[in-house]
DNA sequence: CCTACCGATCGGTAGG
DNA sequence: CCTACCGATCGGTAGG
């Protein structure tokens, strides 16, 4: 029961930190959304800062796990399909997970005391994605599917594309967002692939 | 002198709201960075909220003016050059203006009481950019410079591209950012233009 | 433009 | 897990 509450505190904090930011979320809010009083939080965590770092650690583990699983399923597929799978997983997680909102907020506007920590996590996460992209590029090069685009350009433009989508998901309605996503994907694939269609 | 202080308050608020956000910026900080005491702010503004809306209004006027001027200079140029000019102006303003940081923050994470206002401003600003993009597309279509990409896809992918760059400028070092920018631009132009080089 | 002050809320602690 | 409390800071006001 106590352990259950610790988990519920982290879930509540994940949502609230994502919605309102670290400073604008009070311990009172976190506690009351769990159904306990503020001082009881200190039975599970030493400080507000520890709640945050704990939530952030969990978040990264969740994301890393999702992309590691993807990497496994990609072994059998063609590079073009794998790239699309990576794109789809990214968009799907962006739209459906509680983690995405907090991740957006802290990579963009880290609370000053956590800036270093968040940068480390960010580069670690980006490394995972880049390693998948490099694998796809190597496989695709052997099949000669790419236009005159090197590995770095291929990866950088993919990451910039998903960063843009990441941002646009925030301020467009769902239907407009879907159209945007499709347009952007079309132009990207026109840019990198030798053959227009499949 | 009084008017000078009103301007200095808005400048200080622009920077601080951008760096720390609306809620995390105290009136004490704004006042002391101008060299006055907190209650003196109320000689120029009715409330913290009025300072914010005043700063935001100025910001939009500044941006609209910059892009209207660009539209004038584009009348003489070729569509390809004009698109690059729009891209360069966007990146340049992103990297050099105080306004960019606050704009990023509030479009992404608007303080709840200003959400409506900011959305209006955002769509108004996007409308300006989109109208420039549509003009470029019309001119370019007459010269048959585009691949099988329609006006909507052309604009949506440009906007997503600059949104991605907008985000990446935030967390990469300047040199890495420049490489990213070049890679992304290359793939985008490969995607939309019929001819590879100039 | 200032000093002095208001009630509200913050993160955190004492003590049970 | 709670009630009761701490000092600090917040936006804003009174009064000059």
> Does some domain include residue A124?
yes
Closest-approach residue (CA) in chain B for A120: B171
Instruction: List chain A residues with CB under 8 Å of B105.
Output: 108-109
pLDDT of residue A167: 85
Separation between Cα atoms, residue A59 and residue A88, nearest integer Å? 19
Q: Do A186 and B157 touch (CB under 8 A)?
A: yes
> Does some domain include residue B21?
yes
> Does some domain include residue A122?
yes
Q: Measuring CA to CA, which residue among B189, B155, B181 is closest to residue B91?
A: B181
> Does some domain include residue A182?
yes
- Which of A125, A129, A167, A189 is most worth mutating to test chain B (most B CB atoms within 10 A of its CB)? A167
Q: Is the pLDDT of residue B177 over 80?
A: yes
Separation between Cα atoms, residue B132 and residue B144, nearest integer Å? 18
CA contacts within 13 A on the Cβ side of B146: 19
A191 touches chain B (CB under 8 A): yes
pLDDT by residue for chain A (198 residues), tens only, comes to: 556 999 999 999 999 999 999 999 999 999 999 999 999 999 999 999 999 999 999 999 999 999 999 999 999 999 999 999 999 999 999 989 999 999 999 998 999 999 999 999 999 999 999 999 999 999 999 999 999 999 999 999 999 999 999 888 888 888 999 999 999 999 999 999 998 654
Separation between Cα atoms, residue B23 and residue B111, nearest integer Å? 8
| Residue A3 C-alpha, separation from nearest chain B C-alpha, in angstroms | 33
Looking at the structure, tell me whether residues A127 and A41 fall in a common domain.
no
> Does some domain include residue B105?
yes
Average pLDDT, chain B: 94
Q: Do A156 and B184 touch (CB under 8 A)?
A: yes
Give the DSSP letter string of B73-93. Answer: HGGGS-HHHHHHHHHHHHHHH
The domain boundary, picked from B45, B63, B79, lies at B45
User: What does the pLDDT average to over B53-62?
Assistant: 98
Using the structure, give the distance in angstroms from the CA atom of B34 to the C1' atom of C3, rounded to a whole number. Answer: 19
- Distances in Å between the Cα of A167 and the Cα atoms of A39, A103, A111, A161, B91 are 37, 12, 19, 10, 16
Looking at the structure, tell me whether residues A12 and A93 fall in a common domain.
no
Looking at the structure, tell me whether residues A70 and A36 fall in a common domain.
no
Q: Is the pLDDT of residue B83 over 80?
A: yes
Looking at the structure, tell me whether residues B127 and B176 fall in a common domain.
yes
> Would the Cβ of B20 be found within 7 angstroms of any atom in strand D?
no
Task: Tell me the residue range of the domain where A12 lies.
Answer: 1-45
Q: Which run of H or of E encompasses B61?
A: helix B48-73
CATH of the domain at B6: 1.10.10.60
User: What does the pLDDT average to over B14-32?
Assistant: 98
Give the DSSP letter string of B10-43. Answer: HHHHHHHHHHH-STTS-HHHHHHHHTS-GGGGGG
> Does some domain include residue B141?
yes
Separation between Cα atoms, residue A52 and residue A98, nearest integer Å? 15
Counted across chains A and B, CB pairs separated by less than 8 A come out at 137
Both tokens of residue A79?
A: 């590079």
- Could you tell me the pLDDT band of residue B171, with boundaries at 50, 70 and 90? confident
Q: Are B99 and B64 in contact (CB under 8 A)?
A: no
Runs of H (alpha helix) within chain A: 2-20, 27-34, 48-73, 79-96, 98-108, 115-142, 151-171, 174-192
Looking at the structure, tell me whether residues A148 and A112 fall in a common domain.
yes
- Which of A25, A91, A190 is most worth mutating to test chain B (most B CB atoms within 10 A of its CB)? A190
A117 touches chain B (CB under 8 A): no
User: What does the pLDDT average to over B96-116?
Assistant: 94
User: What does the pLDDT average to over B117-123?
Assistant: 94
- Could you tell me the pLDDT band of residue B6, with boundaries at 50, 70 and 90? very high
CA dihedral A13, A17, A19, A20 (to 10 degrees): 120
The domain boundary, picked from B26, B45, B64, lies at B45
> Would the Cβ of A75 be found within 7 angstroms of any atom in strand D?
no
Looking at the structure, tell me whether residues B80 and B30 fall in a common domain.
no
Q: Is the pLDDT of residue B159 over 70?
A: yes
> Would the Cβ of A47 be found within 7 angstroms of any atom in strand D?
no
Q: What are phi and psi of B196, to 5 degrees?
A: -65, -65
Q: Are A166 and A94 in contact (CB under 8 A)?
A: yes
Q: Do A157 and B188 touch (CB under 8 A)?
A: yes
Separation between Cα atoms, residue A102 and residue A13, nearest integer Å? 10
Looking at the structure, tell me whether residues A40 and A60 fall in a common domain.
no
Looking at the structure, tell me whether residues A7 and A81 fall in a common domain.
no
> Would the Cβ of B38 be found within 7 angstroms of any atom in strand D?
yes
pLDDT of residue A8: 98
pLDDT of residue A3: 67
Report protein residues in contact with nucleic acid strand C, where contact means CB under 7 Å.
A 25-29, 38-39, 42, 47-49; B 1-2, 5, 31, 36-40, 43-44
Number of domains in chain A: 2
The domain boundary, picked from B45, B62, B79, lies at B45
Looking at the structure, tell me whether residues A41 and A84 fall in a common domain.
no
Using the structure, give the distance in angstroms from the CA atom of B41 to the C1' atom of D12, rounded to a whole number. Answer: 11
Residue that is written with structure tokens 């950019």 in the block = B129
CATH of the domain at A179: 1.10.357.10
Looking at the structure, tell me whether residues B41 and B58 fall in a common domain.
no
> Does some domain include residue A198?
no
Looking at the structure, tell me whether residues A61 and A86 fall in a common domain.
yes
| Residue A8 C-alpha, separation from nearest chain B C-alpha, in angstroms | 25
Looking at the structure, tell me whether residues B34 and B68 fall in a common domain.
no
> Does some domain include residue B197?
no
Q: Is the pLDDT of residue B140 over 90?
A: yes
pLDDT of residue B196: 61
- Which of B101, B133, B160 is most worth mutating to test chain A (most A CB atoms within 10 A of its CB)? B160
| Residue A172 C-alpha, separation from nearest chain B C-alpha, in angstroms | 10
């Amino acid at each position: 029961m106590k352990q259950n509450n610790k988990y519920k505190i982290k879930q509540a904090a994940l949502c609230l930190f994502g919605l309102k930011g670290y400073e604008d979320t009070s311990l009172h809010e976190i506690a009351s959304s769990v159904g306990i009083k503020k001082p009881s939080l200190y039975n599970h965590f030493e400080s507000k800062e520890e709640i945050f770092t704990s939530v952030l650690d969990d978040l990264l583990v969740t994301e890393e796990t999702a992309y590691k699983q993807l990497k496994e399923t990609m072994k059998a597929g063609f590079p073009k399909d794998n790239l699309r799978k990576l794109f789809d997983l990214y968009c799907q997680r962006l739209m459906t997970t509680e983690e995405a909102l907090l991740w957006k907020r802290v990579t963009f506007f880290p609370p000053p005391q956590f800036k270093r920590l968040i940068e480390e996590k960010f580069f670690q996460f980006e490394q995972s994605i880049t390693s998948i992209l490099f694998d796809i590029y190597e496989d695709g090069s052997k099949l000669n599917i790419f236009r005159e685009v090197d590995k770095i350009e291929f990866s950088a433009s993919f990451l910039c594309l998903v960063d843009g989508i990441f941002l646009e998901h925030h301020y467009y309605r769902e239907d407009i967002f879907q159209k945007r996503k499709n347009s952007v994907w079309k132009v990207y694939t026109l840019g990198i692939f030798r053959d227009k269609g499949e």
